[in-house]
Amino acid sequence: MAQKILAAHCGRDYLEPGELVKANVDIVLGNDITMPLAIEEFKKIGVDKVFDSEKVVIVPDHFTPNKDIKSAEQCKFIRGFANEQSIKNYFEIGSMGIEHALLPEQGLVLPGDLIIGADSHTCTYGALGAASTGVGSTDVAVAMATGTAWFMVPQSLKFNYSGNLKKWVTGKDLILYTIGLIGVDGALYMSMEFAGQAIKSLSMDSRFAMCNMAIEAGGKFGIIEFDSTTQKYLEGRHRRPYRIYNADSDAGYYRQYDIDCSDIELQVSLPHLPSNAKSASQCSDIKIDQAVIGSCTNGRMEDLEIAASILKGRKTARNVRTIIFPATQQIYLEAMEKGYLRTFIEAGCVVSTPTCGPCLGGHMGILAAGERAVATTNRNFVGRMGHPKSEVILSGPAVAAASAIAGRIAVPQEVL
Amino acid sequence: MIIKDRAIKYGDNVDTDVIIPARYLNTINQEELAAHCFEDLDADFKQKVKDSKIIIAGDNFGCGSSREHAPLSIKASGVKLIIAKTFARIFFRNAINIGLPVIPGAEAAEKISQGDELEVDMDKGIIKDVTSGREFKINPVPAFIQEIISSGGYINYTKKSLSQG
């Protein structure tokens, strides 16, 4: 599927895995960490204007609201560039959300698109049937100047998910389980296609969470075929036409995996690799100091709804700091209207404005030495959320909310 | 080009968070980034890199974030070359784009030891471990990537191709 999208963007009918091609991109994305470097490099190329001021998207979301003077300077620098270049899709605080929740929500990324972003989780948009991948600042600089990027055509892995999901299990559990199965480099340089009946029955939010973490298995793309769920999601959002690509029935996959979801329990990934996946129910003796619910992986409505349904009328444990950060302003507003914010605050949680902050140990929830968090984020590397001697356990929203109440890793059944 | 230096050896899955922790990403100043390079992985890196400027690593080197600050901080620390069993893809392209030589080579990465003196002939594609007397072949680099490297990075390559129309 990704091969077909790449081929269409470089004027070819067919591409062979391993080929190096230059292709036209539909959207180029950067944030407050990667954009300053991209702008510096862009200026060296000697082109005055970006290739298309509507196709460059800039979202200052990592260290915002500005966490310190240096971050403020970086944001000021990219704001200046956005104004000078008349970048239409520059999102200032107030309209800003976490980029990978914001771009789909705003209808900026569509099926059949070829997208690059200077953020590794750019692979999220594959959930819409797009070929979308993370690159570095220099790639973004060149793409802003030329509208093109170089790609190595990847091999594809197909994951066929069957069976019914157990109660509380979401896309996050499926992807943690999958990374546990294949390892953090199990899809190195490859495209991961998520397919099967269980995927067809997944919500868009769960699909985003799955594709978001393709990079955690080393993947270049995480991609799901367009279907009625995708179509419904796009209604009222897209302002330009899109193209649907389906996988060929005889597509040559490097490898196929059959996964029966009816066996998959709520998952956690223990420190310090996303591939250290285990059933949450086997980890009930692990104490936590912090619970974090949000991020580009799990800061969408479905996640807040699950968390609210568990936290409603209950209190978080005395020694657990619970931080909830809705991924966009729109999600924040909807959560307010549905009463989730009240539920969270009454349960003893803190509700933050949209930011990537805690996920990458930037701000808004840094861990001290020896502390441990359960988080619905995407990485649990050494020092990811703060001190190099702190720990992060990854989970979906249900386990994070239940653990916040129990003060240790818990599944909802233990606290409801 | 021949690169001569000693090896610093690391393991598998060296991620971008330990190469340059996010808490230092509020700047793009390369000297500042270099000052914190590998801080959470190896407290002695700054000492080691004084006389060992080739990094040898295991699988999936540079996994994690897309931060170009990772290869930049390594390059600004004085490292001349990284040889790893495999590289994470974003790190790999970032390194090429900024002109930091990276060589995937499973056998070399396995057999070269910490502190070994190496001579790497980039043109002939040979890694010579002077300490152990072993030699390893480098797989040829695709022409397009070679062109980026010989132009001194992706920006210079782009400038050149734009001026040639």
- A65 and A158 housed in the same domain: yes
Distance from CA of B55 to the nearest CA of A (A): 20
Residues of A in contact with B72 (CB under 8 A): 37
Inspect the interface and report whether the beta carbons of B155 and A138 lie closer than 8 Å.
yes
Distance CA A264, CA B73 (A): 41
Inspect the interface and report whether the beta carbons of A45 and B86 lie closer than 8 Å.
no
The region that residue A308 occupies, defined by phi over 0 for left and psi between -120 and 50 for alpha, beta otherwise, is: alpha
Confidence (pLDDT) at B67: 97
Q: What is the interface pTM, i.e. ipTM, of the complex?
A: 0.96
Nearest CA in chain B to A390: B40
pTM > 0.80: yes or no:
yes
Inspect the interface and report whether the beta carbons of A74 and B27 lie closer than 8 Å.
yes
Range of the domain at B47: 2-163
Q: Is A332 exposed, middle or buried (0-12, 13-18, 19+ CB in 10 A)?
A: buried
Residue type, A395: S
Range of the domain at A8: 2-258
CATH code where residue A79 lies: 3.30.499.10
Distance CA A313, CA A214 (A): 36
Interface of B with A in 101-130 (CB under 8 A): none
Inspect the interface and report whether the beta carbons of A142 and B65 lie closer than 8 Å.
no
Confidence (pLDDT) at A349: 98
Sign of the dihedral through C-alpha A80, A82, A86, A89: negative
Which of A33, A123, A364 has the most B C-beta neighbours within 10 Å, making it the best mutation to test the interface with B?
A33
Distance CA B120, CA B6 (A): 11
Residues of B in contact with A189 (CB under 8 A): 89
- A308 and A227 housed in the same domain: no
| Residue A58: how many other CB atoms lie within 10 Å | 27
- A76 and A125 housed in the same domain: yes
Distance CA A349, CA A397 (A): 14
Confidence (pLDDT) at A87: 98
End residue of a domain, out of A258, A281, A296: A258
Residue type, A326: P
- A140 and A22 housed in the same domain: yes
pLDDT digits (tens, 9 = 90+) for B58-92: 999 999 999 999 999 999 999 999 999 999 999 99
Q: Does B146 touch chain A (CB under 8 A)?
A: no
CATH code where residue B26 lies: 3.20.19.10
Confidence (pLDDT) at A327: 98
Inspect the interface and report whether the beta carbons of A188 and B69 lie closer than 8 Å.
no
Inspect the interface and report whether the beta carbons of A136 and B64 lie closer than 8 Å.
no
User: Structurally, how many domains does chain B consist of?
Assistant: 1
Nearest CA in chain A to B18: A382
End residue of a domain, out of A208, A237, A258: A258
Nearest CA in chain B to A69: B26
Segments of A61-134 assigned E as strands: 89-90, 114-117, 131-134
Could you tell me which residues come within 8 angstroms of residue A249 by beta carbon, excluding any fewer than 6 positions away?
none
- A211 and A326 housed in the same domain: no
Distance from CA of A130 to the nearest CA of B (A): 18
- What is the block-wise mean pLDDT of chain A (416 residues), using blocks of 10 residues? 96 94 97 98 97 98 97 98 98 97 98 98 98 98 98 97 98 98 97 98 98 98 98 97 92 95 98 98 98 98 98 98 98 98 98 97 97 98 97 98 98 98
Residues in chain B, total: 165
- A285 and A177 housed in the same domain: no
Nearest CA in chain B to A137: B68
- A385 and A272 housed in the same domain: yes
Residues A253 and A157 sit within 8 Å (Cβ to Cβ): yes
Residues of B in contact with A20 (CB under 8 A): 142, 144-145
- A206 and A304 housed in the same domain: no
Distance from CA of A27 to the nearest CA of B (A): 17
- A47 and A101 housed in the same domain: yes
- A274 and A364 housed in the same domain: yes
Confidence (pLDDT) at A250: 81
- A30 and A167 housed in the same domain: yes
At residue B150 the predicted structure's pLDDT band, cuts being 50, 70 and 90, is confident
User: Structurally, how many domains does chain A consist of?
Assistant: 2
Q: Does B22 touch chain A (CB under 8 A)?
A: yes
How high is the mean pLDDT of chain B?
A: 95
- A277 and A324 housed in the same domain: yes
